[in-house]
Amino acid sequence: MNPPALVIGGQLNGLSVCRSLTQAGIETYLLDTRWHDPASWSRYAIPIKAKALHGSGLLTTLRTIGLPDGTVLIITDEMAVYTISEHRDELAGRFRVHLPPHDIVLILHDKALFHNFALANGLPVPNAIVIGRDAEVSSIRDLRFPVIIKPADKRDFHLKSVLRAVLASNLQHAEITSRKLLETTPEVIVQECIQGPDSNIYFCPFYRKNNTATINFVGRKLASVPRGTGSTALCVVSLSA
Instruction: Report yes or no: 50 and 61 within 8 Å, Cβ to Cβ.
Output: yes
Asked if CATH classification 3.30.1490.20 holds for the domain at 110-192, the reply, yes or no, is: yes
For residue 135, the model assigns a pLDDT of: 66
The residues, ordered by sequence, that sit 6+ positions from 186 with a Cβ below 8 Å of its Cβ are: 132, 133, 152, 153
The separation between CA 175 and the C-alpha centre of its own chain, rounded to angstroms, equals 26
Residue ranges covered by each domain of the chain: 5-106, 110-192, 198-237
Give the separation between CA 176 and CA 106, rounded to whole angstroms.
Answer: 28
Query: Could you tell me whether strands 46-49 and 28-32 are parallel, antiparallel, or unpaired per DSSP bridges?
Result: parallel
In the CATH hierarchy, which fold is given to the domain comprising 5-106?
Rossmann fold (3.40.50)
pTM for this entry? 0.84
Residue-level pLDDT at 214: 72
Looking at residue 170, its pLDDT comes to 94
Q: What is the pLDDT of residue 240?
A: 61
pLDDT tens, per residue, the chain with 241 residues: 789 999 999 988 899 899 999 999 999 999 999 888 888 888 999 999 999 999 999 999 999 999 999 999 999 998 999 999 999 999 998 999 989 999 999 999 999 999 999 999 999 999 999 998 666 788 899 999 999 999 998 888 877 778 888 999 999 999 999 999 998 888 999 999 988 888 888 888 877 777 776 788 888 988 888 888 777 878 888 876 5
pLDDT at position 138 is 83
